[in-house]
A and B are shown apart, each in its own frame.
Chain A
Amino acid sequence: MKLYFKFFTIHLKSQMQYKVTFILNIFGRIIMSFATVAGVLFMFTRFNEVEGFTVSQTLLCTSVVSMAFSFAEVFARGFDIFPRLLANGEFDRALVRPRGIIFQVLASHIEFLRLGIFIQALLVLCYAIPNSGILWSWDKILTLFLMISCGGVVFFGLYIVYASFSFFTTEGLEFMNILIYGGREFGRYPYSVYGGGVLKFLTYVVPLALFQYYPLLYLLDRAQTVFYMFAPLISVPFIIPCYIFFRVGLRRYKSTGS
């Protein structure tokens, strides 16, 4: 942990070397991620609600998913560019070092620029929290916290799966994008909007809805069961099969030779 913290500060310092560029880039990313929000707002100027969700309630979803995503994007950057690490042989060097592989991949890259999305999501959240008509109490604050943190874990798992696939193909596989970037883009609306089939898939196969849709029902008092409040926690074990998949890939890894 201490070592990771050291890497953390090194990455932070190196990325802060060009401060103006850094700030401009973060700013650009904030603007960029506002496009999704603008899309939602535009839709809701025409339609007052969708599936019974108002605009602020939808924005609550948007920001929770974006925040969870940006956590994973900042810290799982090493897995994001993993195909590149494999292709240029950097990964081979990691294999001979006396530290855990996962640790090394994690510590190799931390992308603070991606915090732009986080900042944007925070702003949207600040707007959505008072306007969503939710009566905030301690259990609901806890639910919101669970939604964001567990969501981060799920996205993290998806990045690991993405990286694991490249053991088999050496190339990054684009179809994971539908789960990672699609999960974020389509998470701008409550997942129930997409109909029962999609919702089931996102509940039982890739548990994106567990930290978004179900706890949202709890927040809005549409479902009183405590079960929905803790639904995000059920999504956390998703990381285990992801990890196993990574190990399986690692076992049959052959160097690209570069």
Chain B
Amino acid sequence: MKQYLSLFRIRFINGLQYRTAALAGLSTQFAWGFMEILAFSAFYRANPDAFPMEFAHLVSYVWIQEAFLALFMPYGVGGNIVETIVSGNISYDLARPMDLYSRWFFETIAERLSRTVLRCAPILLVAFILPPPFGMSLPSNFSQFLMFLVSVPTAAFAVTAYCLLDYMSAFYTMNRYNVIFVILADFLGGGYIPIPFFPEPFRKFAELLPFAAMQNMPLRIFSGDITGTDALRGIGLQVFWVAVMIICGKMLMKHSLKRVVTQGG
């Protein structure tokens, strides 16, 4: 555990080096969030009855999504893992007395966390201060907030386990980018438009997929779109998918390490 903590610290301090970049990133995310909300509000004006969420819920959804972007995004984190697989540097890692899967898992989680910590506070702060139509509201009661707190790490685990599956496919394909992996998770996880906006029969199906266990769940619990027992059931589904994906990942690891061939010196 200690080595993971020190790794976390290194990454965190490294992230702090680029404060201007973080600031620039913040302003980008603000503008992005605003534009999303403006677009949705145009649809809301067009036909409020067809809007599947309360507008205030949607606003909270967008801001939390921006605040926790680095924690939940199914891309851009842990690219160095693919690099080690393709370049063959993995042979060093295999010589180390650590379980490689767990190490990768903790590494990517640490990277996600450090990036999120830098960015989420200012976004959340301003999103709270903003005037009503654009401002974010807190969950209606404490139990809702508690469920959100449980749902966030579970979603982060889900997205990390999923990404590891993606990275490990490089064992077989030697391909650096699997855009389809990314886009599936982003779209079906509610990254483009929240799952409630999906057309009806498809929506029910999408709610059950592992992608719904990612950002979809915590965002909708926080905003109040999913409450009470529905939220608990959602978290249960999240835990289920995390377990499935980690088990698959470990199995895939075992299988691919059996046939890993490192070329040359």
The listed residue (B18, B46, B177, B197) touching A25 by CB distance below 8 A is B177
- The verdict on A39 contacting chain B, using a C-beta distance below 8 Å, is yes
In the complex, chain B residues whose CB is within 8 Å of the CB of A36: 192
- The verdict on A211 contacting chain B, using a C-beta distance below 8 Å, is no
In the complex, chain A residues whose CB is within 8 Å of the CB of B27: 175, 178
Docked-complex contact B183 and A42, CB < 8 angstroms: no
What's the Cα separation between A126 and B186 when bound, in Å? 27
Docked-complex contact B175 and A193, CB < 8 angstroms: no
What's the Cα separation between A174 and B25 when bound, in Å? 5
Q: How many chain B residues have a CB neighbour from A under 8 Å?
A: 33
The listed residue (A29, A43, A198) touching B197 by CB distance below 8 A is A43
In the complex, chain A residues whose CB is within 8 Å of the CB of B240: none
What's the Cα separation between A11 and B199 when bound, in Å? 43
Chain A, interface SS category: helix
Q: How large is the interface on A (under 10, 10 to 19, 20 to 34, 35 or more residues)?
A: 20 to 34
Docked-complex contact B46 and A50, CB < 8 angstroms: yes
A window 39-53: CB within 8 A of B: 39, 42-43, 45-51
- The verdict on A21 contacting chain B, using a C-beta distance below 8 Å, is yes
What's the Cα separation between A195 and B37 when bound, in Å? 11
Bits for A24-65, please: 1 = Cβ < 8 Å to B, else 0. 010011011001101100110111111100000000000000
Q: Given A177-B28, A193-B38, A193-B39, A35 and B50 touching (CB < 8 A)?
A: no
What's the Cα separation between A117 and B129 when bound, in Å? 39
Nearest Cβ on chain A to B20's Cβ, whole angstroms: 7
- The verdict on B52 contacting chain A, using a C-beta distance below 8 Å, is yes
Chain B, interface SS category: helix
What's the Cα separation between A129 and B211 when bound, in Å? 34
In the complex, chain B residues whose CB is within 8 Å of the CB of A28: 177-180
In the complex, chain B residues whose CB is within 8 Å of the CB of A46: 43, 47, 50-52, 197, 199
Docked-complex contact A35 and B32, CB < 8 angstroms: no
Docked-complex contact A42 and B199, CB < 8 angstroms: yes
- The verdict on B42 contacting chain A, using a C-beta distance below 8 Å, is yes
In the complex, chain B residues whose CB is within 8 Å of the CB of A177: 28
- The verdict on A169 contacting chain B, using a C-beta distance below 8 Å, is yes
Bits for A156-190, please: 1 = Cβ < 8 Å to B, else 0. 00000000000001010111011000100010010
- The verdict on B24 contacting chain A, using a C-beta distance below 8 Å, is yes
Docked-complex contact A173 and B180, CB < 8 angstroms: no
Q: Given A32-B183, A38-B187, A189 and B39 touching (CB < 8 A)?
A: yes
Q: Give A190's nearest chain B residue, CB to CB.
A: B42
In the complex, chain B residues whose CB is within 8 Å of the CB of A25: 177, 179
Bits for A109-120, please: 1 = Cβ < 8 Å to B, else 0. 000000000000
Q: Which of B50, B180, B183 has the most chain A CB within a 10 Å cutoff? A: B183
In the complex, chain B residues whose CB is within 8 Å of the CB of A43: 43, 193, 197
What's the Cα separation between A228 and B24 when bound, in Å? 34
The listed residue (A42, A174, A189) touching B42 by CB distance below 8 A is A189
- The verdict on A227 contacting chain B, using a C-beta distance below 8 Å, is no
Nearest Cβ on chain B to A186's Cβ, whole angstroms: 5
Q: Given A32-B179, A186-B39, A47 and B50 touching (CB < 8 A)?
A: yes
Q: Give A29's nearest chain B residue, CB to CB.
A: B179
- The verdict on B21 contacting chain A, using a C-beta distance below 8 Å, is yes
Q: Given A42-B198, A182-B31, A174 and B21 touching (CB < 8 A)?
A: yes
- The verdict on B35 contacting chain A, using a C-beta distance below 8 Å, is yes
The listed residue (A32, A50, A194) touching B35 by CB distance below 8 A is A194
Interface contacts beyond A175-B24, A198-B38: sample of 9 additional A-B pairs, CB < 8 Å, sorted by A = A28-B177, A31-B179, A46-B47, A46-B197, A46-B199, A171-B20, A182-B32, A186-B35, A195-B38
> Which residues does A use to contact B, with CB under 8 Å?
21, 25, 28-29, 31-32, 35-36, 38-39, 42-43, 45-51, 169, 171, 173-175, 177-178, 182, 186, 189, 193-195, 198
A–B complex contacts, Cβ < 8 Å, 27 sampled: A21-B175, A25-B179, A28-B177, A28-B180, A35-B183, A35-B186, A35-B187, A36-B192, A39-B187, A39-B193, A45-B199, A46-B51, A47-B43, A171-B21, A174-B24, A175-B25, A175-B28, A177-B28, A178-B32, A182-B28, A182-B32, A186-B35, A193-B38, A193-B39, A194-B38, A194-B39, A195-B42
